[in-house]
Amino acid sequence: MKICIIGAGSPYTPELIEELSKMPDKLPVTEICLMDINETRLEIMHSFCLRYIKTLNFNVTITSTTNRQEAIQGCTFVNTQIRVGGNEARIIDERTCLDLELVGQETTGAGGFMKALRTIPVMLDIARDVEKLAPNAWIINYTNPTGLVAEAVMKNTKAKIAGLCAGGMFARGWSSEALGCAKEDVQFNLAGLNHMNFSYNITIKGRPISKEEFNKIAPKVGSVDAELIKELGALPSPYLQYYYHEKNKVKEMQPKSRGEEIAEIEAELFKDFADPEITNKPESLKKRGGGGYSEIAMAVMDAIYNNKDTWIAVNTFNQNTLPFLPTDAVIEVPCIVNAAGITPLAQAPPPKATWGLISAVKNYETLAVEAAVTGCEDTAFLALLAHPLVRDYEKAKVLVKSIAHGKGEKNG
C-alpha cells in the first residue's frame, strides 16, 4: 500500500508516521510519499522521518517529492494537511481582523473566510488530481477549514473525501476524564458543523448519564464558561468561545495573535527536526497544540480499508440528519464508516438554543464555498455579512476590499 501526505512539511507529519507504525497488520503500508511545495521544510521532514522510522522500528519506504501528481499516483489514501500561504498569510488574516476589532482566528470568523478563499481552489486541484491518478483513493483531509473544504470537494468533484477533525470526538475524552470511564464506552449525539458543534445525550455503555454527571463534565471544556454549558445542556466545541465570549477573546488576541505565536514555535521546532541527533519527536512539538488528529485519521483509514464498521464524527452531507439545514449542507455528525463510505447517523434534536447559531454559520459557509469556487466578490461580501462574528456592513466592505487588493491573500 502506498499513501501520500500532501503538506508533509507540517510538524504534524510525525504523528501520522507514528500511528501508522502501530498498525502494520491493519494498514500494510509499504511506501509513504511526503509531498510539499516548501523544499526546505520537506527536506528537513524527510530526513527526520528517516531517522524516526528507525526509532519506531517501522519497516517502510519513505520518499519525498515536490510534484503533487507524482505523490498521488497509485495511492490508496491521500492525506492532506496544507496551509496555503504558510504562517505568514495566517498572521495577515488574523491581524486584519483584529484591526477591525473582530475575532482573529484561522478557522472561525473572517480569518477563517480568508483562509477558505486561499485553500479551497488548491484543494479542488488536489481532488481533481486524485480523480485522474488514483480514482479509488480516499482523501483523508485535515486541511482547515475542513468542513468548508469537504463541502467544496463533495459538491464540485467526484473524489472521495473524509473531512476530519479531532474536535468532533472531544466529548469522549472530557467524559472519560470527568467520570473515570473508558473513552470507547462513551457515545453521544453531535449536531453542528466543524468547530461549531454541540455534544449531548451522552451515554456510558449505553446508560444515559445523570445531570450531576453532566455537570462534572462541563468544566472540562475549559474555554467556554461551565455555568453556560450547564444551562445549554450540551458540550460545545472549544471554538464556541469565540461566539459566547467574543469581546473578551478579541481583547486577549490583540497583543499577539495565535499565528504569531505559532511562527515562533515552529521556528524552534524545525531547528529540532533538522538536528541529526534528534531521532524521536522533539519536546518542542508539545508547544504546537492541535495534536491527536492522527488517531482519527487512522481509525477512518482502518475502517475503509478493512471494511470495519466504525462510529466516528465526520464532515459529510446532511441528508436530513439535521432537518433545519439543507440536505446538501456538509455538517459534522457521528457516522458509520466502512468500505462503502460514510453514512451519517440520525441524531436526536439538539437543544433549541443551538439551532439559530448553527443555521447562521451554515448560511455563511454555503456562501463562503460559493465565493471560493466562483471568485465572486459580491458573494464574498454576502458571506461576511451573514457571519455572526462579522455582520457589520462597513466592516464587511473593508474586509472584501482588503481581500480584493491582496491583503490577507498573500501567497494565495
Contact 333, 314 (CB under 8 A): yes
Strand partners, 275: none
Residue among 215, 112, 227, 234 nearest 170 (CA)? 234
Contact 129, 119 (CB under 8 A): no
Catalytic sites, residue numbers: 239
* CA angle, 128 then 132 then 138, to 5°: 70
Q: How long a stretch of residues is the chain?
A: 412
Residue 265 to residues 11, 285, 286: CA-CA distances in angstroms?
10, 8, 10
Contact 98, 111 (CB under 8 A): no
- The contacts of residue 89 (CB under 8 Å, 6+ apart) are 83, 115, 118, 408, 409, 410, 411, 412
Contact 179, 400 (CB under 8 A): no
- The contacts of residue 127 (CB under 8 Å, 6+ apart) are 139, 153, 156, 157, 159, 161
Strands (DSSP E) found in 149-307: 160-163, 186-193, 196-204, 207-208, 235-236
Rounded-to-integer distance, Cα 70 and Cα 83, Å: 20
**Three-state secondary structure call for residue 309:** coil
